[in-house]
């Protein structure tokens, strides 16, 4: 198996059809044309795992150079091809690649809160997914989070967790003795506002956004 980044629109179309569409509900999945536009602009970064039988999985991130924050938008293994530690290998390789190439000060991810979302054969087990990320050092950012609507006519996905996968210590507000990160909220709010606006086509509003903004009022969050 080999894992490597790609900028090929053909690779992106292949993983969208074979990996993303079977793995995520429609409300959580960005349409291929928008992903292609982001790839062309340089804000979408794609890593693909392949073996002799074809695509095994993909990791896809959205990069915000203005805020220095990278969102791991999708990490998925092709149906019927899970196992063998592919997810861990893919995540580690992707994060290492992006930290070297982009130097984000914060890498975040969205996952379903297992307290509010049930698992399924098609879309996996939220509890197992959270444990997977926690084994890789993820921390829950204390924000009541909802994913923006991913396409016209879609809906926001409530009751998600926003995770911090890794952070650059020299750009945090500080690290406490027990290892707690002090995450500055201004760039995080700016990133989320841009993310919601780009996804939904308008400045964010509504109760889900108001709850996020309220949680980001302190200058730092303990994560």
- Contact between 56 and 77 (Cβ < 8 Å): yes
pLDDT digits (tens, 9 = 90+) for 54-74: 899 999 999 999 999 999 999
**Three-class DSSP category at 52:** coil
| pLDDT at position 1 over 90 | no
- Which pLDDT does position 34 carry in this prediction? 95
Q: How far apart are the first and last CA of the chain?
A: 35
Which of left, alpha, beta for 143 (phi over 0: left; psi -120 to 50: alpha)? Answer: beta
User: Beta strand pairing status for 157-167 and 139-147?
Assistant: antiparallel
Structure tokens at 205: 């509003």
pLDDT digits (tens, 9 = 90+) for 177-198: 899 999 999 999 999 999 999 9
The closest alpha carbon to 171, from 76, 114, 104, 79, belongs to 104
The closest alpha carbon to 166, from 77, 100, 89, belongs to 100
| pLDDT at position 123 over 80 | no
| pLDDT at position 150 over 70 | yes
Contacts of 38 (CB under 8 A, 6+ apart): 44, 62
**Three-class DSSP category at 122:** coil
Give the pTM: 0.94
- Which pLDDT does position 118 carry in this prediction? 73
| pLDDT at position 212 over 80 | yes
Q: Rounded mean pLDDT of 125-147?
A: 95
- Which pLDDT does position 92 carry in this prediction? 97
- Which pLDDT does position 121 carry in this prediction? 60
């Amino acid at each position: 198996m080999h894992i490597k980044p790609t900028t090929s629109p053909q690779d992106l179309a292949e993983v969208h059809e074979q990996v993303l569409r079977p793995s995520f509900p429609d409300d959580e999945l960005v349409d291929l044309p928008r992903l292609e536009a982001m790839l062309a602009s340089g804000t979408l970064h794609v890593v693909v795992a392949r073996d002799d039988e074809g695509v095994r999985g993909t990791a896809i991130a959205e990069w915000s150079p203005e805020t220095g924050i990278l969102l791991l938008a999708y990490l998925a293994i092709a149906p019927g091809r899970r196992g063998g530690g592919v997810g861990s290998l893919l995540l580690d390789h992707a994060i290492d690649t992006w930290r070297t190439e982009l130097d984000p000060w914060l890498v975040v991810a969205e996952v379903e809160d297992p307290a509010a979302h049930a698992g399924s054969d098609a879309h996996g087990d939220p509890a197992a997914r959270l444990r997977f990320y926690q084994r890789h050092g993820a921390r829950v950012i204390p924000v009541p989070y909802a994913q923006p609507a991913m396409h016209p006519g879609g809906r926001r996905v409530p009751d998600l967790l926003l995770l911090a996968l890794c952070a650059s210590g020299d750009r945090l507000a500080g690290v406490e003795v027990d290892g707690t990160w002090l995450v500055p909220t201004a760039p995080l709010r700016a990133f989320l506002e841009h993310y919601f606006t780009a996804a939904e086509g308008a400045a964010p509003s509504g109760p889900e956004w108001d709850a996020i903004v309220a949680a980001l009022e302190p200058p730092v969050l303990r994560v």
